[in-house]
């Protein structure tokens, strides 16, 4: 700013909320997705929904799944192409993809 050159702001949107026993963490924007992958079991109240557009990860909604949020950030920020079956396999850490 001091040099007169404006810096480009290119942050990925994120959000978190804690309501009683539920912690929701979101990264990216799911608008425009063409595929969703559920990772984990919603009936256990611990799962993630991964949003894809043209096979690229564009957003994650993580419910009581901090590890998915922390490890999945890179998938969103780098807009990586990942096979949906690998994303759905909760035994595979997202950092390994």
What is the predicted pLDDT for the residue at 90? 95
What is the predicted pLDDT for the residue at 21? 94
Residues 6+ positions from 94 with CB-CB distance below 8 Å: 67, 68, 71, 72, 74, 75, 87
Mean local confidence (pLDDT), 60-87 = 97
Domains delineated in the chain:
14-92 (3.30.390.30)
What is the predicted pLDDT for the residue at 94? 97
Q: What is the mean pLDDT of the chain?
A: 93
What is the predicted pLDDT for the residue at 2? 57
Maximal C-alpha separation, the chain? 54
For 15-36, the pLDDT digits (tens) are: 999 999 999 999 999 999 999 9
Give the whole-number percent of the chain exceeding pLDDT 90. 89
* pLDDT value at 8 more than 90: no
């Amino acid at each position: 700013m001091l040099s007169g050159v404006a810096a480009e702001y290119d942050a990925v949107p994120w959000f978190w909320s804690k309501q009683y026993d539920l912690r929701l963490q979101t990264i990216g924007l799911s608008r425009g997705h063409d595929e969703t992958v559920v990772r984990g079991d919603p009936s256990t109240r611990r799962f993630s929904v991964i949003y894809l557009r043209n096979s690229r990860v564009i957003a994650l909604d993580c419910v009581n799944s901090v590890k998915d949020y922390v490890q999945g950030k890179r998938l969103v920020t780098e807009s990586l192409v990942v096979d949906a079956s690998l994303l759905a396999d909760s035994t595979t850490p997202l950092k390994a993809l």
